């Protein structure tokens, strides 16, 4: 059923003392559908003649707002959200062109889900059916390579921000936008590992074909140097007066810099916003860390192991002084050798770091299967350790989530409907199918709001939390997924002693 946002416009002429006239209109706006918009409702207006814009946020179904606007041709747009928090949940959109010329006029802005598919709100790249693609924010010290459409991570150093809020500021013609007013999202903490956060926020990013004046979908990102958007941690506001798609920050705002919006590929259904952020100041060397494979084959020169010097905030830093890092291991059978080269011909027992070195690599080869722990140690830094397993090809070590018959899994589905068929496949270290040696129970779970579940049938009537891979097989039976609310979730498949598999599914609004 369509809903509507009704606007009552009362127009009059304002006459100056000099008897010259400036034609304006007093616009009285009442939002009468907010009871179905628990996630907020925003209205934007942009003048095609007077270079004016306005943005209003409604927080009560009985709220009425008044504003004086210049006469002429205006474009009015509105978006409402049904979720528990601002900018979350199912969408309804509306838009209309109107000429303000005096007198009294009433008109209705139709608000429905179909309108959200219009290119006024977002280009097709940032649309996912009848909803906007969810926003993923990444803060980077450098992001110059983001012109590469296939990139989805920071180029070099991570940003300083630990949390953020998205704001649609409320403003009147001629007044500066303020990130402290308008519709504000809940706080989102940023992942320390890659300085990013995938949100459940659905925001219009605008379109370059109309955003010729500041105001339409003007957006601000409040960045905090601490988690949970705590008081006293706000240090920067990224300002996008033309909307996110214009990729501009306000030139006069402190800390402004190039920010880029990308939809990495049509299958991701994610809007990636890269914000050029302050770099976290590097600290003193504090610890060593390992990067390596979890599983390796016996009598094989393994993929490179990397030992990295990091500070207390896990930022990669130079060693600072010359260091010798010793390499040792523990295993049931003492038949492992460390090497400096990928052919495993030059045996070593230590790594040398000079003052400017941040990381060094090495390789290993072990004859017998089993679990092994490798240690890297040097004076003055916390030691690093890493566990890996030597296993034969054909041994089950990890899982993968597949679609019907073991094919590609479906990455999207409609909220409230039974989404496709999924199965779980067991794999060896080479990602080849590997048969289990006994009936293996796999536990299923998913991230986000727990308002759905898994089912054994295509009608989603018989719930389950597990699937089974039978003895001698590598593929489970089919399972189906259903969730009430929209948003991007990760489906997890977990088995005892086997690496967990996960798969992202974008549950779209109906």
Domain contains 206:
no
Confidence of residue 509 (pLDDT cuts 50, 70, 90): low
Predicted local distance difference test score (pLDDT) of residue 9: 41
Residue 4 has pLDDT above 90, yes or no: no
Domain contains 480:
yes
Confidence of residue 150 (pLDDT cuts 50, 70, 90): very low
Residue 288 bridge partners (DSSP): 309
Q: How far apart are CA 280 and CA 110, in angstroms?
A: 47
Do the beta carbons of residue 242 and residue 55 sit within 8 Å? no
Residue 346 has pLDDT above 90, yes or no: yes
Instruction: Please indicate, yes or no, whether residues 378 and 428 belong to a single structural domain of this protein.
Output: no
359-366: strand order across its sheet: 287-291, 305-310, 359-366, 336-339, 347-348
Domain contains 149:
no
Instruction: Please indicate, yes or no, whether residues 297 and 365 belong to a single structural domain of this protein.
Output: yes
Expressed as residue numbers, the domain containing 453 is: 398-508
Predicted local distance difference test score (pLDDT) of residue 152: 58
| pLDDT (mean) for 231-237 | 83
The string of pLDDT tens digits covering residues 400-418 is 998 876 777 777 788 889 9
| pLDDT (mean) for 328-353 | 95
Q: Is 474 exposed, middle or buried, given 0-12, 13-18 or 19+ CB atoms closer than 10 A?
A: buried
Q: Which residue in 325, 319, 376, 365 sits closest to 343, CA to CA?
A: 365
SS3 395: coil
Tell which of 390, 424, 447 closes a domain.
Answer: 390
Instruction: Please indicate, yes or no, whether residues 429 and 373 belong to a single structural domain of this protein.
Output: no
Predicted local distance difference test score (pLDDT) of residue 8: 45
Tell which of 338, 368, 390 closes a domain.
Answer: 390
Instruction: Please indicate, yes or no, whether residues 107 and 15 belong to a single structural domain of this protein.
Output: yes
Q: What is the mean pLDDT of the chain?
A: 81
Q: Parallel, antiparallel, or unpaired: how do β-strands 305-310 and 188-189 relate?
A: unpaired
Instruction: Please indicate, yes or no, whether residues 40 and 69 belong to a single structural domain of this protein.
Output: yes
Of residues 253 and 188, more confidently modeled:
188
Residue 471 has pLDDT above 80, yes or no: yes
Instruction: Please indicate, yes or no, whether residues 465 and 500 belong to a single structural domain of this protein.
Output: yes
Do the beta carbons of residue 488 and residue 506 sit within 8 Å? yes
Domain contains 145:
no
What's the CATH number where 41 sits?
A: 2.60.40
SS3 405: helix
Residue with tokens 């010097």, as numbered in its chain: 309
Q: How far apart are CA 168 and CA 179, in angstroms?
A: 8
Of residues 290 and 279, more confidently modeled:
290
Task: Using the Cα atoms of residue 185, residue 138, residue 216 and residue 174 in order, give the sign of their dihedral.
Answer: positive
Q: How far is C-alpha 275 from the chain's CA centre?
A: 13
Dump the DSSP string for 174-212.
TS---TTSSEEPPPEEPBTTTTEEE-------B-TTT--
Domain contains 85:
yes
Predicted local distance difference test score (pLDDT) of residue 440: 96
Among 89-98, 190-199, 209-218, whose mean pLDDT is lowest? 209-218
Instruction: Please indicate, yes or no, whether residues 424 and 470 belong to a single structural domain of this protein.
Output: yes
Predicted local distance difference test score (pLDDT) of residue 467: 95
Q: How far apart are CA 24 and CA 15, in angstroms?
A: 10
Q: Is 347 exposed, middle or buried, given 0-12, 13-18 or 19+ CB atoms closer than 10 A?
A: exposed
Among 74-78, 186-190, 211-215, 234-238, whose mean pLDDT is lowest? 211-215
| pLDDT (mean) for 370-392 | 93
Domain contains 61:
yes
Domain contains 216:
no
Tell which of 344, 366, 390 closes a domain.
Answer: 390
Q: How far apart are CA 281 and CA 283, in angstroms?
A: 6
User: 3-state SS string over 320-378?
Assistant: CCCEEEEEEEEECCCCEEEECCCCCCCEECEEEECCCCCEEEEEEEECCCEEEEEEEEC
The string of pLDDT tens digits covering residues 94-126 is 888 888 876 666 666 778 888 888 878 887 778
Number of domains in the chain: 3
Q: How far apart are CA 475 and CA 124, in angstroms?
A: 37
Residue 475 has pLDDT above 90, yes or no: yes
Instruction: Please indicate, yes or no, whether residues 348 and 412 belong to a single structural domain of this protein.
Output: no
Predicted local distance difference test score (pLDDT) of residue 331: 92
Instruction: Please indicate, yes or no, whether residues 300 and 339 belong to a single structural domain of this protein.
Output: yes
Predicted local distance difference test score (pLDDT) of residue 266: 44
The string of pLDDT tens digits covering residues 478-501 is 999 999 887 778 889 999 988 888
Instruction: Please indicate, yes or no, whether residues 352 and 440 belong to a single structural domain of this protein.
Output: no
Instruction: Please indicate, yes or no, whether residues 113 and 11 belong to a single structural domain of this protein.
Output: yes
Instruction: Please indicate, yes or no, whether residues 296 and 327 belong to a single structural domain of this protein.
Output: yes
Residue 32 has pLDDT above 70, yes or no: no
The string of pLDDT tens digits covering residues 414-465 is 888 998 889 999 999 888 999 999 999 999 998 877 889 999 999 999 999 9
CA angle, residues 208, 214, 220, in degrees to nearest 5: 95
What's the CATH number where 354 sits?
A: 2.60.40.10
Domain contains 14:
yes
Of residues 477 and 193, more confidently modeled:
477
Of residues 204 and 69, more confidently modeled:
204
Q: How far is C-alpha 380 from the chain's CA centre?
A: 38
SS3 226: coil
Predicted local distance difference test score (pLDDT) of residue 17: 34
């Amino acid at each position: 059923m369509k809903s509507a946002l009704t606007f009552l416009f009362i127009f009059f002429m304002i006459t100056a003392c000099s008897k010259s006239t400036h034609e304006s209109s007093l616009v009285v706006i009442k939002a009468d559908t907010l009871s179905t918009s628990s996630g907020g409702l925003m209205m934007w207006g942009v003048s095609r003649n007077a270079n004016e814009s306005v943005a209003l946020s409604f927080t009560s179904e009985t709220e009425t707002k008044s504003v004086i606007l210049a006469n002429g041709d205006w474009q009015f747009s509105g978006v409402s959200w049904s979720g528990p928090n601002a900018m979350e949940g199912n969408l309804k959109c509306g838009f209309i062109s109107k000429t303000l010329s005096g007198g009294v006029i009433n008109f209705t802005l139709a608000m429905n889900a179909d309108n959200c598919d219009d290119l006024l709100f977002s280009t097709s790249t940032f649309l996912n059916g009848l909803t906007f693609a969810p926003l993923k924010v990444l803060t980077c010290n450098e992001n110059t390579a983001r012109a590469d459409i296939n990139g989805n991570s920071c180029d070099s150093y991570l940003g300083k921000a630990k949390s953020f809020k998205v704001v649609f500021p409320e403003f009147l013609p001629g007044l500066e936008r303020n990130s402290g007013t308008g519709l504000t999202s809940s706080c989102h903490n940023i992942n320390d590992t890659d300085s990013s956060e995938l949100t459940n926020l659905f925001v219009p990013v605008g379109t370059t074909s109309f955003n010729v004046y500041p105001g339409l979908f003007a957006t601000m990102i409040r960045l905090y140097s601490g988690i949970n958007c705590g008081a006293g941690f706000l240090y920067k506001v990224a300002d996008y007066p033309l909307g996110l798609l214009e990729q501009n920050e306000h030139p006069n705002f402190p800390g402004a810099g190039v920010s880029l919006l990308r939809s990495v590929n049509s299958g991701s259904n994610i809007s990636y916003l890269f914000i050029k952020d302050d770099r976290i100041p590097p600290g003193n060397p504090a610890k060593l860390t390992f990067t390596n494979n979890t599983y390796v084959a016996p009598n094989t020169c393994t993929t490179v192991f990397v030992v990295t010097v990091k500070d207390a905030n896990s930022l990669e830093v130079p060693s600072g002084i010359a260091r010798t890092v010793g390499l040792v291991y523990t295993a049931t059978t003492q038949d492992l050798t460390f090497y400096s080269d990928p052919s495993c011909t030059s045996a070593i027992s230590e790594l040398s770091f000079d003052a400017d070195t941040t990381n060094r690599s090495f390789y290993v080869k072990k004859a017998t299967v089993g679990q092994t722990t490798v240690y890297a140690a040097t004076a003055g830094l916390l030691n690093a350790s890493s566990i890996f397993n030597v296993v034969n090809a054909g041994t089950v070590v990890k899982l993968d989530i597949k679609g019907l018959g073991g094919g590609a899994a479906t990455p999207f589905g409609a909220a409230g409907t039974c989404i496709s068929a999924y199965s779980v496949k067991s794999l060896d270290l080479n990602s080849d199918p590997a048969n289990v040696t006994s009936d293996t129970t796999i536990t299923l779970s998913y991230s986000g709001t727990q308002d759905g579940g898994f089912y054994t049938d295509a009608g989603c009537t018989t719930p389950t939390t597990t699937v089974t891979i039978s003895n001698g097989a590598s593929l489970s039976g089919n399972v189906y997924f259903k969730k009430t609310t929209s948003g991007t979730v990760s489906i997890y498949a977990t088995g005892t002693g086997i690496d967990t598999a996960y798969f992202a599914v974008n549950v779209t609004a109906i």
